[in-house]
Amino acid sequence: MAEFVTLEVSDGIGTIRLARPPMNALNRQLQEELRAAAREATVNAEVKAVVVYGGEKVFAAGADIKEMAEMSFAEMSPVAGDLQSALGCISEIPKPTVAAITGYALGGGLEIALGADRRIAGDNAKVGVPEVLLGVIPGGGGTQRLARLIGPSKAKDLVFTGRFVGAEEALAIGLIDEMVAPDEVYNAARKWASQFTGAASRALAAAKASIDQGLDTDLNTGLKIEAQQFAQLFATADRTIGMESFIANGPGKAQFTGE
């Protein structure tokens, strides 16, 4: 039984909930429970889209520094990859994902949110990667995902200074995608996720893989990835359903099965 991370499923939406009061500090146990929740969201056929949520007060204020403070290079070196993969595990879910950000999303907390396909934040949220103020750098994917999301210059500004960014600036630079009232964050995230509960799940997975894998390579290779993903969908039931429905009834009326 997980202590700090749960997966709750309702109406086709899986909510991965972080719950380690008061600030959802990301200790090793929470990281592994997060990985397990992401894996369960991946294999659970009832889950069509995923919301990652830290609760009404805070998303996650970063790694558990007390746990890290006494670690040596020899101790950190073999587990740094585990830290990175755990905080980045949301990016591996082959379904639409959205981070619902309330309060602070700092350091590893922001790195978890960066793994989502979309980020919705309260207008009082504060986000950032303040690791340099501790004498280190983001180690959970922050230097890579942040630069790909907002560009290297803006990413370097945030990483070099370690400053906290308010919701308005985060929206302006593309770090978050939507800003709402703090008490509407979770509802807004569920509203976005609900668009996909009746969608062609395999097509969404193919679209996500094509975009994510394509961004990691050159254009020609990306186009080959797209072509392969596109062709594979012709082996799915949803492709038949979608095209037959279009011919008979026009667009947007297909009743997909996820197969």
DSSP H or E run through 76: helix 73-76
**Cα distance between residue 142 and residue 148, in whole Å:** 10
- Reported as a single tens digit per residue, the pLDDT across 165-189 is 999 999 999 999 999 999 999 999 9
Give the tokens for residue 177: 């995608």
pLDDT over 90 for what percent of the chain?
Answer: 96
Give the tokens for residue 223: 């186009």
Q: Is the pLDDT of residue 1 over 80?
A: no
Q: Is the pLDDT of residue 42 over 90?
A: yes
pLDDT, average across residues 216-229: 97
What does residue 173 show for φ and ψ, rounded to 5 degrees? -95, 0
Q: What is the bridge-based pairing of β-strands 49-53 and 97-101?
A: parallel
Q: Is the pLDDT of residue 17 over 80?
A: yes
Q: Is the pLDDT of residue 218 over 80?
A: yes
Q: Is the pLDDT of residue 211 over 80?
A: yes
pLDDT over 70 for what percent of the chain?
Answer: 100
Q: Is the pLDDT of residue 85 over 90?
A: yes
**How would residue 43 be classed by pLDDT, with cut points 50, 70 and 90?**
very high
How many other C-beta atoms lie within 10 A of the C-beta of residue 128? 24
What is the DSSP-derived secondary structure letter of residue 60?
B
Give the tokens for residue 114: 């960066």
The pLDDT of residue 63: 87
**Which three-class secondary structure state does DSSP give residue 208?**
helix
pLDDT, average across residues 75-86: 94
Ordered structural domains, the chain, with CATH: 5-194 (3.90.226.10), 201-249 (1.10.12)
Q: Which residue has the tokens 């590893």?
A: 108
> Per the residue annotation, which of 111, 178, 184, 244 is the catalytic one?
111
**Cα distance between residue 3 and residue 239, in whole Å:** 41
pLDDT, average across residues 197-220: 97
- Reported as a single tens digit per residue, the pLDDT across 126-154 is 999 999 999 999 999 999 999 999 999 99
Q: Which residue has the tokens 């978050």?
A: 176
> Chain-wide mean pLDDT for the chain?
96
> Per the residue annotation, which of 46, 70, 131, 226 is the catalytic one?
131
Pick from 38, 19, 130, 141: which is nearest to 89 by CA? 38
**Cα distance between residue 125 and residue 118, in whole Å:** 15
Q: Is 56 a catalytic residue?
A: no
Integer angstrom CA distances of residue 34 from 6, 16, 29, 173, 234: 8, 8, 9, 28, 34
pTM of the full structure: 0.95
For residue 18, list its beta bridge partners: 5
| Residue 42 CA neighbour count, 13 Å, CB half | 13
pLDDT, average across residues 242-252: 95
pLDDT, average across residues 50-60: 97
Pick from 125, 89, 129: which is nearest to 110 by CA? 129
Q: Is 131 a catalytic residue?
A: yes
